[in-house]
Amino acid sequence: MNISRFTKFAAVTLLTAVCVVVAEAAPWMSLGAKRQIHTIVITGNYKAPRLLAELIQDESRQPYILLPDPRDEVQKICFCPPIRNEALEIQEKNFNAFVRTAGPRRIIILGDERYVPRRFEEMLDKKIPIVRVTGENWQRIAEELTFMLNLSRLDRNFRKLYEKMYGDIYRPISRPAPPQQQDNSSPQGESVPPAQSDAPAPSAAPAEAK
């Protein structure tokens, strides 16, 4: 009898967790075949990798996830679908469940452990192919991803905007903040914090990067 009650309790708990994740993803991922996800890009909220993630999204119509910089006042994980002015906050405890619900065929991680701490990679379902692309030359990374993802304009667009970014012209896109909500289970239209510098300062890097 106790086993039966425990089984029911476990089933209800699992169903509740799944419902929370689906509720977070529902505004974008439930819209049918046009919203099918085959690649999710994950990176930190720094200028160069965020620019690269946005350009990949612009050409491939695939979403990306921004992880916060340790120096950010608000530690917010943002899921950014290819629809402007719509971002979703992911609770860290639901990170893997959210990605699994999205059902990507592969995950691309941009940057080393300073940009995406190892703990986030370890959370991910190992059944999903994961490729971490690292290097100090973001232009070379853009060129390799152009080939890897079968894109045609990524490297050229990145080169142009990367140069403008250091000419104080380009600003990574931020989304307007919504009215404050008490329920954090399914926030919509979240604001994305401004991008930090290209590389996190060594003293501010997470412990995993040491």
Mean pLDDT within 170-180: 42
Contacts 24+ apart (CB under 8 A), 69-76: 69/44, 69/45, 69/193, 69/196, 69/200, 69/204, 70/200, 70/204, 70/205, 70/206, 71/196, 71/200, 71/201, 71/204, 72/45, 72/193, 72/196, 74/193, 76/190, 76/192, 76/193
What does residue 97 show for φ and ψ, rounded to 5 degrees? -60, -35
Q: Of 28, 18, 190, nearest to 94 (Cα)?
A: 18
The pLDDT score that the predictor gives to residue 164 is 87
Q: What is the pLDDT of residues 36-49, one digit of tens each?
A: 899 999 999 999 99
Q: What is the pLDDT of residues 96-129, one digit of tens each?
A: 999 999 999 999 999 999 999 999 999 999 999 9
Q: What is the pLDDT of residues 153-166, one digit of tens each?
A: 999 999 999 988 87
Mean pLDDT within 188-210: 56
Domain ranges of the chain: 2-177+186-194
**Under a CB-based contact definition with an 8 Å cutoff, are residues 20 and 90 in contact?**
no
Band of the pLDDT at 197, cuts 50, 70, 90? low
